[in-house]
Amino acid sequence: AQSVTQPDIHITVSEGASLELRCNYSYGATPYLFWYVQSPGQGLQLLLKYFSGDTLVQGIKGFEAEFKRSQSSFNLRKPSVHWSDAAEYFCAVGAWVSGGYNKLIFGAGTRLAVHP
């Protein structure tokens, strides 16, 4: 069965420090991978997505992620964190279902705190 694991429930970094959020997926076919961010009381905002091609994808707000098939990983990175990046981050895989479309399977999320 398809699944997504985000090993880190909470991460705290200092403002200006680099960030890496881990994501591992379990999926038999070519995965379609996403990172979303959720601020308190808000919905999910798409940061970036991977479908095919270049394994390093760029997203909004200075985020990037690298797809590594051999490690079944899609880790999110940012070279310098800003206080406004404090939020919860969700990794998701698009799982094919009969009927033609796909549904998203989400990881449990990583809550990021940023110290000034």
From its phi and psi, is residue 28 left (phi > 0), alpha (psi between -120 and 50) or beta?
alpha
* CB closer to other proteins out of 43 and 116: 43
* CB closer to other proteins out of 100 and 116: 100
113 secondary structure, DSSP code: E
- Rg, Å, the chain Cα set: 14
* CB closer to other proteins out of 39 and 84: 39
What are the residues binding other proteins (CB under 8 A)? 32, 34, 36, 41-46, 49, 51, 90, 92, 94, 96-97, 99-109
Rounded to whole angstroms, the Cα distance separating 88 from 79 reads: 18
Q: Measured from the CB of residue 45, what is the shortest distance to other proteins in angstroms?
A: 7
- Kindly report the number of other CB atoms within 10 A of residue 4's CB atom: 24
Q: Measured from the CB of residue 48, what is the shortest distance to other proteins in angstroms?
A: 10
